[in-house]
Chain A
Amino acid sequence: MALHAVPADIRKMGGVARMADPAVIESIIDAVTIPVMAKARIGHFVEAQILEAIGVDMVDESEVLTPADEFHIEKTKFAIPFVCGARNLGEACRRIKEGAAMIRTKGEAGTGDVSQAVLHMRKIQGQIKSLKGMDDLQLMKVAREIEADLDLVVECARMQRLPVVNFAAGGVATPADAALMMQLGADGVFVGSGIFKSEEPAAMASAIVQAVHHYDQPEILARVSKGLGAAMKGLDAASIPEGEVLQTRGW
């Protein structure tokens, strides 16, 4: 993920957070052999066009940056895939309808407090479970209530999951946090501040990779969690003043 600062620092700096300098993103693309994702502001389709033009593999239309529009980007107009944040099934379906190829449960970015990531994952999973066994009329009622496309709601009901990959993000700071999100049903996790604000970023990153892979093996989780130095200090998500909460950006 290419961005000009990790969410924990974006929080501290304040001001308007925008797409990173394309020169910086290009230098990251040149330095690594893995796919590179970069963040664009919610609704800022020109930032997304620029990211596509420089060869970024995927765009994160992210609430961590300052939103540019009440509308999200029309993602079907792009050749490269997008990931978008969501806190509930309605929000996830709206983003998928706009063309999101992946959903990231929002959590509360840059806090190191996993509670919001858990809340949003439980919410989406619970809503999908509740669709099981519903007939067409009941599904239509739900689709109307959660302001989601009916076909997508029907698909979620049938598949018993989102029809796209569902990552967990926003507060994951330890191998145990990562495994927790996997056990709750995530397909993967995004970790930013949790790695770069820890005492030993390389060791923490490697341990989190192992934890995601062996998420249901407590003995292995115990082994990889040992001696990693301090995790990021973090911020209790409940203590954040209303105007500084990131998860409520977008709709």
Chain B
Amino acid sequence: MTRIGVLALQGDVSEHVLAMQRALFGRGEVLEIRRPGEISGCDGLVLPGGESTSISRQLEISGMAQELKAAARSGMPILATCAGLVLVSREIEGDAKVRPLGLMDIKVDRNAFGPQRESFEADLQVEGFDRPYRAVFIRAPAIVDVGRRVQVLARIGEVVVGARQDNLLALAFHPELTEDMRFHQIFQKMLEA
């Protein structure tokens, strides 16, 4: 049975657990990952949205940052949304408080769109989708630079808001908050590969 872990240090953990359960149709187990030693037992991992400084600090304090890096290098599929996208990046623009895990060759601007009042929804044209995808952006980050190995999936204006690099799927928005499960389906294909 497929075991998907949702990193549960801070953020919208319960929303991700519910969305992933929905996506798996009962053909898998979704676990909250709170402590060292729990990541390696998973087949896939979700890094939820939340507050990236807080999650980063907890990853470092708990020693789970190293485990997460090892899991990513071993090829474990990882779905990183919003704050999760900030964490997997190689570089963060003008900010030293978050320690990026350097798993994906992207440079990120935290809160690229502004504070809470600038949160929004938008219809995205996504690579490989036959109709637009309605995405929810909450104090969202944006990818401002991508490396050669990164496949861009969606943009808003100049910035990238969805990208994939091998076993990593990074989204600046919240696929767990809408009914459209097409990004979860991509993640499922990554699990099967």
Contact = CB atoms under 8 A, between A and B. Distances in A.
Contacts of B35: 214
B2 interface: no
Nearest to A52: B117
Interface string A223-234: 000000000000
Interface in A7-53: 29, 33-35, 52
A52 B147 CA distance: 37
Interface residues of B, number: 18
A34 B97 CA distance: 10
A79 interface: yes
Contact of B51 (A34, A52, A58, A79): A34
A200 interface: no
The CB with the most chain A CB atoms within 10 A, among B34, B97, B115, B119, is that of: B115
A52 B61 CA distance: 34
B118 to A, nearest CB: 8
A79 B117 contact: yes
A81 B117 CA distance: 9
B97 A55 contact: no
B97 A57 contact: no
B95 A33 contact: yes
B191 to A, nearest CB: 28
B34 A213 contact: yes
B116 to A, nearest CB: 4
A80 interface: yes
A80 B110 contact: no
B54 interface: yes
B53 A34 contact: yes
Interface in A63-95: 79-81
Contact of B114 (A55, A56, A81): A55
A35 B116 contact: yes
B53 A33 contact: yes
B99 interface: no
A247 to B, nearest CB: 27
A33 B117 contact: no
Interface in B39-60: 51, 53-54, 58
Given A57-B117, A210-B61, A214-B34, 10 more contacts: A33-B97, A34-B51, A35-B51, A35-B115, A55-B114, A58-B116, A209-B58, A213-B34, A213-B58, A214-B35
25 contacts: A33-B98, A33-B110, A34-B51, A34-B53, A34-B54, A35-B51, A35-B115, A35-B116, A35-B139, A52-B117, A55-B114, A55-B115, A56-B115, A57-B115, A57-B139, A79-B116, A79-B117, A79-B119, A80-B117, A209-B58, A210-B61, A213-B9, A213-B34, A214-B34, A214-B35
